[in-house]
Every structure is written in structure tokens, then in C-alpha cells.
Amino acid sequence: MRVLQFTDLHLRGDPEAETRGVKPQRSFEAVVAHAKAHHSPADAILLTGDLADDEHASYPRLADAMRELDAPLMVLPGNHDDPAALRAAFPQASAVLDLGSWRIIGVDSQAAGAVHGEINARQWEMLENAVLNASGRHLLVALHHPPLPLGSEWMDRIGLRDAEAFRQWLTLHGVRACLFGHAHQTWDGEVNGVRYLCAPSTSSQFVAGSATYAISDEAPGYRWLELHDDGRIDTDVERVAR
């Protein structure tokens, strides 16, 4: 099964508007065009948060772009997003996607009014239920906020709160991998049997390992994954020239 992850789009109401020296709409369009040319058709698409840059009028435009890719869709809010507006723009999106021998579970880690992430009681209950009726499928969990330190002091302060408890839960339930965004950089590592994967932003990137906020000149990108019936995951990041 082929899965595409797009994250941290930061789309603006005006398609020609700039953020951090990049036009997010045009950058996203270039990323999607690359994905269509090289990794299509997809069996599922994951949008893992900060889809808008506080201008939620861009959601219908994003929904139109996703319809062109014609794949089951998971849409997760980031700290910049409006969950109600997202639900209205993406009524077909699901928090649980079953793809053959795999189940993908999406977690809403948005903490209202905060930049950091949290998993509330309702989301914990959803996670437990999604695992209980997974019927032996391999598990992949996605959310917006990083659930482990990335070695960047400022970013680690605004990651997921109670991340250790979340990581323990992933290990306890034999989750194969956890996908996230928020960090505007790539990450691929394993902790206690769980693989943790971060995709680059489709817009601007942050400098990895920096103690303070800093913008990188790396190109925008996205992540593709191939999920195998035996639980193996092949994955890589594609960078796209602006």
C-alpha cells in the first residue's frame, strides 16, 4: 500500500502571499505535481497539520487539490488550524484508515490556544478503541506534534506534552511507526521498536539541531511510504525545487 504524507503547508488566503520568503500555495502545488508524477496513484493521503497559516479560507482550495488525487484522506489539525473549518472542508476524511493488512490511526494533538501539543482524554479513548478492533492489522499512528525530542531546543519545547507516556503506549501496542510534522524537517529513527518519521514542510524548512528558531534553505518536500503485508515499511522523502 502506498501512502503520501504532506505536512505544514501553511497556506494563505491569498495564493500569491509569502511566508518566510516562500509562496506556500505555489510551493505546495509543485510538491503535489511531483507526487502525482512519481508516486501516483496513492492508496491514502495523510495531511498532518498546519495546513493553513491562520487563514482558513484556504481549506476549500486545498480540498479541491486533494480531490484531484482521488485517494482516501486523513486530515489532522496542527496548532495553526481551525478544527471545525477543517471538518467542514473535508467531510469525507477519516481518523482511521484500513488499507489491507494495515490500520492508520490519526490523533488530534492540537491544544486549543497553544503551540505545543497534547492528547486529551477523548483522543486516548479513540486510540484504545481503534487498537481493540484492529483485527490483527499492522498499526501506524499519525499526529502533528513531535512525540520525541529532536535535538532542537526551541522545537522540543513546543512538541507533544506527556510524550513519554504516548511512546510507551505505542510500544505496548506494537505500533510499527508514528508519523508527525510540526518540525519542518526530516526525521527517521527508532525507539523501543517503534519507527518515528517526520516529513519536511511543503513550504519553508527549519534548521535541524538549532537551539533557536532558524530557517533553512532546504527545498520543500513530502514523504512517501510503501506498507508491506509483513509489516515492513519502505519510505523516503522527496524534495522539490521551487
Does the pLDDT at position 181 exceed 90? yes
Pick among 1.10.132.20, 1.10.150.130, 3.60.21.10, 2.40.70.10: CATH of 2-239 = 3.60.21.10
145-160 pLDDT, tens per residue? Answer: 999 999 999 999 999 9
98-128 pLDDT, tens per residue? Answer: 999 999 999 999 999 999 999 999 999 999 9
Query: What's the alpha-carbon Rg for the chain, to the nearest Å?
Result: 16
Contact (CB, 8 A) for 19 and 53: yes
Element containing residue 191 per DSSP (H, E): strand 187-191
Where exactly are the structural domains of the chain? 2-239
Distance CA 48, CA 60 (A): 17
Contact (CB, 8 A) for 196 and 233: no
Query: How close are the terminal C-alpha atoms of the chain, in Å?
Result: 28
Q: Where are the alpha helices (DSSP H) in the chain?
A: 24-38, 59-69, 83-89, 121-132, 153-156, 163-172
* Phi and psi, residue 143, nearest 5°: -155, 180
76-97 pLDDT, tens per residue? Answer: 999 999 999 999 999 999 999 9
Distance CA 111, CA 78 (A): 9
